Structure 1
Amino acid sequence: MAKNDVVTDRLTAVLRPVRAGNGFEEALEQILRLLRLGLIPAGERLPAERALAERLGISRVTLRDVLKVLTDQGLVESRRGRYGGTFVLSRPEARGEAELRRRVGTVDVTDTLHFREVLDVGAAGLCASNGLTDDGAIRLRSALLATNEAPLGEYRRRDTLLHLTLTELSGSPTLAVHYAAVRADLNDLLDCIPLLVRNLEHSQHQHTALIEAVLDKDADGARDVMREHCEGTAALLRGFLS
């Protein structure tokens, strides 16, 4: 599968036709989720207006209103010319206990962590039970390698992409859609706490064991490793909230 096809498949889990009546609001929600997940990294371009409007099922006028809000918020910028378009800007860092507690007030942390664990564990089990195609195995190994090689500031984005890849390969588009949503909420919380090198090293050991279990079709092992991995993230967040 070509790289562009992989990106297109991944966007399908986030960008879907909106319901009539709330086109602007729902389109804004979906594109914000896309940015929170880091599916299109800073410096890269959003899909062309026509393609994006068609994917969301809205008019280009409505889409431009959405993009204006994102521009006003400093999340994207419009560039003219032959290689122009709407480009993603770096998100300002939002670190610290005060910001974490503010964001906690907008999300049910316990529910988010539980739902994330159910979906992640389920995806790992499905991938291992059903087995992966050669292309799927290559995608999963590539996502793991990308986390291993990630600079510190890129780690969380590539970690997100690894987990999204696993859910996409599970064979359940519905699972992938729900995971993208809950992961965006989780990332809003994780972005407020520091990156701890020892924690990331432990996380990478778990990632490696997880992928090995999936590729060995060891469903119980894959579920066990993923459950432990999710519990580690939950413990880290609870530590900063206590």
Structure 2
Amino acid sequence: MDAASDALLRPVRTGNAFEETVERLLQAIKLGVVPPGERLPAERELASRLNVSRVTLREALHALQESGFVESRRGRYGGTFVCTAPPSAAPAVTSRVDDLEDALTLRSVLESGAAEFAAGRDLSDHERAHLTARLSECDGATLGEYRRKDSRLHLAVAEISGSPSLTAAVADVRMRLNELLDGIPLLPKNIAHSNRQHAILVDAILVGDPPGARRAMAQHLEGTASLLRGFLG
């Protein structure tokens, strides 16, 4: 493998192992480090280089296979191969990719701050029930309704921060991001991971742990950012 491969297929560093693994693999594919029709390194080597478990790697490869970026071939010369004609983002999304980093930066600042302030407030019973209900709805959402329920949970966090202006700003940046999110597939593994992170976030808010809530939200947002950069970058 060359230096470019070493740079892209480097160890995953955060708690979003699945999402970052998808991002690294997509970068390697989109930048031609592994050209169309070529085979990816063996699972054992890839898992070692990315510093992830074989289970996480297989889940990431399965997601890319479902999305049309790679295909699995059996037999003596089998393995995971980059598709000769990988899918591309929809034109409406492609035209807005330049907004991605700006939107991600704004979202990180706004939503991490909202989580911190929400956890620092003396919440009413109504606010606690509202947040818990939105978490439950998101956790039980179908694929078709997940993004809407996910948006509602994030808005609920902003709402209980106590700042209408902050809530409006979070809603605005969420609208921008949803247009970009519509251009990437819904990955069940990512949804399950997101729901676990949601639970940690809500728990930190309800027990009144501002630093913990800020960390939980930041880590959660990093996972979504990794997928967006991978699929749209």
Q: Is the 8 A contact 1:131 1:215 kept in 2?
A: no
Partner of 1:190: 181
CA distance in 2: counterparts of 1:196 and 1:131, whole angstroms: 36
Q: Which amino acid aligns with 1:105?
A: S
Q: Among residues 197, 206, 221, which one is paired with 2:197 in the alignment? A: 206
Q: C-alpha displacement at 1:108, in angstroms?
A: 1.4
Partner of 1:120: 111
CA distance in 1: counterparts of 2:164 and 2:132, whole angstroms: 21
CA distance in 1: counterparts of 2:108 and 2:94, whole angstroms: 18
- Flag structure 2 segments of 5+ consecutive residues without an equivalent: 1-86
CA distance in 2: counterparts of 1:166 and 1:104, whole angstroms: 30
Kindly tell me the number of residue pairs found equivalent between the two proteins.
146
Tell me the TM-score normalized by structure 1.
0.58
Q: Is the 8 A contact 2:89 2:184 kept in 1?
A: no
Give the secondary structure class of the aligned counterpart of 2:165.
helix
1:109-168 CA-to-partner distances (Å, cap 9, x unmatched) read: 101001011111011000101131110000000000001111111111000000011111
Q: Among residues 220, 229, 233, which one is paired with 2:220 in the alignment? A: 229
Give the secondary structure class of the aligned counterpart of 1:98.
coil
Partner of 1:103: 93
Q: C-alpha displacement at 1:224, in angstroms?
A: 0.2
Alignment of 1:40-189 (within 5 A): 97-99=88-90, 102-106=92-96, 108-189=99-180
Give the secondary structure class of the aligned counterpart of 2:186.
coil
CA distance in 2: counterparts of 1:227 and 1:236, whole angstroms: 15
- Flag structure 1 segments of 5+ consecutive residues without an equivalent: 1-95
CA distance in 2: counterparts of 1:178 and 1:155, whole angstroms: 21
Tell me the TM-score normalized by structure 2.
0.60
Q: C-alpha displacement at 1:104, in angstroms?
A: 4.0
Give the secondary structure class of the aligned counterpart of 2:128.
helix
Partner of 1:241: 232
1:3-30 CA-to-partner distances (Å, cap 9, x unmatched) read: xxxxxxxxxxxxxxxxxxxxxxxxxxxx
CA distance in 2: counterparts of 1:104 and 1:119, whole angstroms: 25
What stretches of structure 1 move > 4 A for 4+ residues in a row?
none
